[in-house]
């Protein structure tokens, strides 16, 4: 789990996963087409641009999903009960929640991304707090918070691919490009989750 992004817009994995990823310590390479940069000014306002014309801009770091074996769909049912409970509470297909967990952490509750996202659904620390998650490494709390956030993204966009892109890259990027942003990582992530979703469709008895 980049709002502007709960990855940093005011209502928005991230009223700052984008901002949080930057604060997590990304190095600032030369600008590349398609990259997004941000900084926080003295008034606490977050600024975004794809043309970093101010020395304060730093590149937004996408949360890298847990490495996947080429062509392999993770097979694990140990969290199915927890997934089903939270999916029902948030009116989500449980196979979709399971697919996000598989893509984010491969069911490793101790996973930590290079940007600092944590646990099964890879919540950024500040986002976890906003979602009421005290310990993101506890599966019960992490799945509760991550499922709630996924529901928010689906309500916001009304489109599964766009919601998944926002979960990975943040709503700011989805809003800017009016759809799935042209980041290879995000596009691969959306395809992977949808593939896993179809694979897990029969795991929950429907």
- Residues with active-site annotation: 104
CA diameter of the chain: 54
How far apart (Å, rounded) are the C-alpha atoms in residues 5 and 99? 22
Return left, alpha or beta for 91; rule: phi > 0 is left, psi -120 to 50 is alpha, else beta.
Answer: left
Q: Sheet of 37-40: strands edge to edge?
A: 46-49, 37-40, 58-59
What is the per-residue DSSP string for 117-137?
-BTTTTB-HHHHHHTT-S-TT
Q: How many distinct helices (H) and strands (E) make up the chain?
A: 8, 3
R_g over Cα of the chain: 16
Contact yes or no for 163/150 (Cβ under 8 A): yes
Picking from 135, 132, 138, 168, the residue whose alpha carbon sits closest to that of residue 150 is 168
How far apart (Å, rounded) are the C-alpha atoms in residues 166 and 56? 25
């Amino acid at each position: 789990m980049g709002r502007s992004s709960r990855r940093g817009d005011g209502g928005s994995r991230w009223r700052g996963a984008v901002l949080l990823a930057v604060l997590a310590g990304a190095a600032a390479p030369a600008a590349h087409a398609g990259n997004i940069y941000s900084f926080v000014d003295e008034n606490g306002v977050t600024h975004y641009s794809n043309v970093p014309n101010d020395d304060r801009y730093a590149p937004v770091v996408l949360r890298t999903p847990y490495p996947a074996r080429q062509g392999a769909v993770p097979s694990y049912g140990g969290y199915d009960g927890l997934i089903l409970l939270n999916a029902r509470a948030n009116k989500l297909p449980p196979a979709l929640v399971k697919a996000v967990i598989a893509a984010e952490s491969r069911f490793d509750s101790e996973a930590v991304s290079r940007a600092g996202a944590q646990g099964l659904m890879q919540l950024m620390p500040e986002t976890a707090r906003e979602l009421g998650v005290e310990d993101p490494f506890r599966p019960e709390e992490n799945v509760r918070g991550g499922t709630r956030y996924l529901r928010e993204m689906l309500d916001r966009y009304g489109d599964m691919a766009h919601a998944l892109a926002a979960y990975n890259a943040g709503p700011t990027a989805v809003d800017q490009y009016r759809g799935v942003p042209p980041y290879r990582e995000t596009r691969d992530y959306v395809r992977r989750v949808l593939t896993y979703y179809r694979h897990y469709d029969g795991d929950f008895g429907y």
